[in-house]
Structure 1
């Protein structure tokens, strides 16, 4: 079976078998991992109105996914410290490839394709070396691993590609963990989160380091605006009442700026931003907190706080129309400044990934 899957993936990439694009699976706009009521896990394709385009099974809990830029293929990643990722043909749910992190590595739950779709980059933990790495996989040859390079920090969680180029932003959360101690945080006293820009061969283009007073503010998730501005969401590891801003803005070559809500709504987020996204028009961005049950909006240019929306167990957010779509662990799919409302018998996981 493994040989057949590799043959199919290679044959599609080589053009022997016609590639089937996203239109062939109902034109989904988003991907999300989810849990079914029976405890099974799936990867879900959602349309722009919140309806389900497809569901395909996962071997265990997923975290985020990456959609191929052309083919109806999605890579679903295990939640940290998982070691699996599966490449799914979203036409029929078949597994095209099964990725296992190498010995001494585990996945962080995120990855991204190169501009041409020929390479997949994955965030990983070199847990014995207490260092972050980016794994590189050849999609034209059955998703074979062909190398890795430093992420530029510790605990690389999310990686995204900037528009129209093979330049990548990496959220190095700064937290060292080891599978032998589960999800325990081993270096809080010395953690140093950063936002690092890398080219496709791992060369550092720029590194944005947080000030020492904010060294407990783990840089965890990313969103990229139409102009290439990067929004990075953070998770505070100290006392909630001391928490600094939970979202920053950055343009390559410049200094970072930070967005903060007034005290009461800021404290309501409980020091935790679970996802970040730009709205469909790019005029504003948002962060979500499943712990606090809120989505907060900020002007994408000035960083000014625009308000908060309450939603139980909300986390997945992504641009939709001129506004935004949000998903929750309660199975709700709702619009923010968009007319979207749906409910499914699913517990959506943390992220809503736009294809």
Structure 2
């Protein structure tokens, strides 16, 4: 460890940026943004048990991050609606680049790299036109913006890359917003979310919508299984007394319709029509969603599409898989590990964790 630190310090003193890998900084399992007690914001690298390996400063409140496939480099996105994204060297804490959306756009808090790590794709809201766009940024030229394409819907939020390919699934949440009205939906009369399958060479190859009765269900966040199945989490924009499903399974490129699931009525209502994050278990046999509004995590069996259990946790939102089940973060600073058998272990940090817990997949 001492040798590596001296080696890296020598590079930095010389004004050089080494091509440090995630292994060089301890192989973190996750990235998460947080607010500190002094009001500042940082991006943390966490182990699979929730121990902090590093933290680097952010210029404002973060939402999620995109981790480079191999380099110890992350793009931290502002909370929606935000216009900045910082490319951070997670070894030195240096800001390598700052991305700014074109005029009339804002980021949506998420992004994804191509398989080779060269291009970064960023969901964006064109708030003057009321349409979704995906920005394209080239890492090899210091993250210059080199293009964009239509997202296939309104309000694109999350984006994931399918395994072993440069095919991407985009969650078009369907909600049109404008900075002058904050996060207030402007198009509830015509709102319609969808899942869009994109190929960088050929564009949109598939657009999937839910039944028209569920058109007010905003598809927000995605989780990817190793075989390409996509889980999606939703946030209902209709009446609070309604009880629509909040989680579904999507099979890209298949004629199979999305499969929707929900917990028994009382527990389902306890989620308050809001799923904040979603994650498959490590073995892919289960999938879970979190609700900061409901203070709950719910798990489902994938093959049988049935509810299997739940855990209560105040202000829980960030969610991902670990070796024994799931790991979740909360605004209280707690990081809780849930085993698929029902046991839970927690570690506390003096921070308020933000919305997401991003896995490093390389």
* TM-score between the two structures when normalised by the length of structure 2: 0.92
Q: Which residue of 2 aligns with 1:264?
A: 266
Alignment of 1:58-207 (within 5 A): 58-201=58-201, 203-207=203-207
Give the Cα separation in 1 of the matches to 2:260 and 2:266.
17
Equivalent of 1:346, from 348, 351, 354? 351
Q: Using a 3 Å threshold, how does the CA distance of structure 1 residues 255 and 165 change in structure 2: closer, same or farther? A: same
Give the Cα separation in 1 of the matches to 2:115 and 2:233.
24
22-31 or 324-333, which deviates more? 22-31
**Equivalent pair of 1:49/1:340 in contact (CA under 8 Å):** no
1:34 pairs with 2:39: no
3-state secondary structure, aligned to 2:69: coil
Structure 2: segments with no counterpart, 5+ residues: 1-15
**Equivalent pair of 1:288/1:314 in contact (CA under 8 Å):** yes
Q: Which residue of 2 aligns with 1:56?
A: 56
3-state secondary structure, aligned to 1:189: coil
Deviation at residue 201 of structure 1 after TM alignment: 4.0
3-state secondary structure, aligned to 1:153: coil
249-258 or 153-162, which deviates more? 249-258
Structure 1: segments with no counterpart, 5+ residues: 1-15
**Equivalent pair of 2:324/2:338 in contact (CA under 8 Å):** no
3-state secondary structure, aligned to 1:185: coil
Deviation at residue 238 of structure 1 after TM alignment: 1.2
3-state secondary structure, aligned to 1:43: strand
Deviation at residue 92 of structure 1 after TM alignment: 1.2
Alignment of 1:244-255 (within 5 A): 244-252=244-252, 253=254, 254-255=256-257
Give the Cα separation in 2 of the matches to 1:323 and 1:205.
34
RMSD: 1.2
Give the Cα separation in 1 of the matches to 2:324 and 2:206.
31
Give the Cα separation in 1 of the matches to 2:96 and 2:18.
15
* TM-score between the two structures when normalised by the length of structure 1: 0.94
